[in-house]
Structure 1
């Protein structure tokens, strides 16, 4: 089964961090992705910065995953070494040069509708980082995970700066756990 056939229906899945049954469905879909790409190096690219509470989701997830030292899971973007707007292309180039045909899952925080705050999404195709704050950055990944941390549509930079750390922390723990369980089911 190809990566793309796994995403024919639906192309995007969403689960709130407090919805256990929906998170199980995300975990199953992510396990299927890891299983279908078993022969390829797995790369988790966590995008964001610790200089903005709302945008720290990626580096928090990268830090959680890096500390676990999961076998053959390559993690980029941590609190110590964040991947952000100014070094994203450099990191993409490094990953492409370091691995033959890597399977990249890109992760980032995003802004959304009020009723979606606290939701995790898993979708096929590349992530478009910076879209919520009107930045033109390179797309990356064959699949991507986002965490909806606050409301979008107006004064996005201010909204990211004023996002509750508690929500971002809880989302980072949930997404890290989701990735860890999914990965260990199929790639040990």
Structure 2
């Protein structure tokens, strides 16, 4: 759970009430993600808190989708949270040399921004809203604004409406599936390297 009191001009922002939210977020993702690299998605959070379940919900929604260009870490069954984040990030770097990481986490902010999802460049700081010291994560990140900040954040997370978290998570998962399909289609359509054919010299008669 990170904290966001304002959005920067460089971020891409969509709202869960926009009927085209998933399509628009997919366009932004395809624009920002490297076309030829496998992208590692880290869905950060815990199933023990309604508000902080945003990331693991997305991970579980994607778990059985057979994604072609993404690898997902963090689900409701196997969450990526404060107690194992260091260890899991080390494992990711062991298994995936030079990983390009898309970090997903819930965040708290202004009441007017609840229901917004932002795509930003650079890392996020998981646990910042709860004053936890965790490593920054991500080359790019998705933050889902699930509730307001400013007072008793832990209680706020526990009392976040499940409807909001579920709706945002489903739309982000749909955007990632669309992005994966587009990335895979472009790879399949890319021309293969031509086969080099070398002429064979005829043997001169003795």
Superposed pair shares fold, TM > 0.5: yes
Shift of 1:180: 1.1
Q: Structure 2: 5+ residue runs without aligned partners? A: 1-7, 186-206
RMSD between aligned residues: 1.5
* CA distances 1:121-170 after superposition (whole Å, capped 9, x unpaired): 10000111111111111001100001000001110000000001111100
Q: Which secondary structure state, in structure 1, belongs to the residue aligned with residue 64 of structure 2?
A: helix
More helix by share: 1
Match of 1:30 in 2: 29
Indicate if the aligned counterparts of 1:66 and 1:75 stay in contact, CA closer than 8 A.
Answer: yes
Aligned equivalents of 1:160, 1:76: Cα separation in 2: 22
Instruction: Spell out structure 1 runs of 4+ moving beyond 3 A.
Output: 20-25
Shift of 1:23: 4.9
Indicate if the aligned counterparts of 1:122 and 1:143 stay in contact, CA closer than 8 A.
Answer: yes
TM-score of the pair, normalised by structure 2? 0.82
Q: Structure 1: 5+ residue runs without aligned partners? A: 1-8
* CA distances 1:12-46 after superposition (whole Å, capped 9, x unpaired): 11111012356544321101123xx2332211000
Q: Which secondary structure state, in structure 1, belongs to the residue aligned with residue 101 of structure 2?
A: strand
Matched, 1:59 2:66: no
Report how many residues are paired: 178
Match of 2:160 in 1: 163
Shift of 1:187: 2.6
Change (3 A) 1:62 1:23: closer
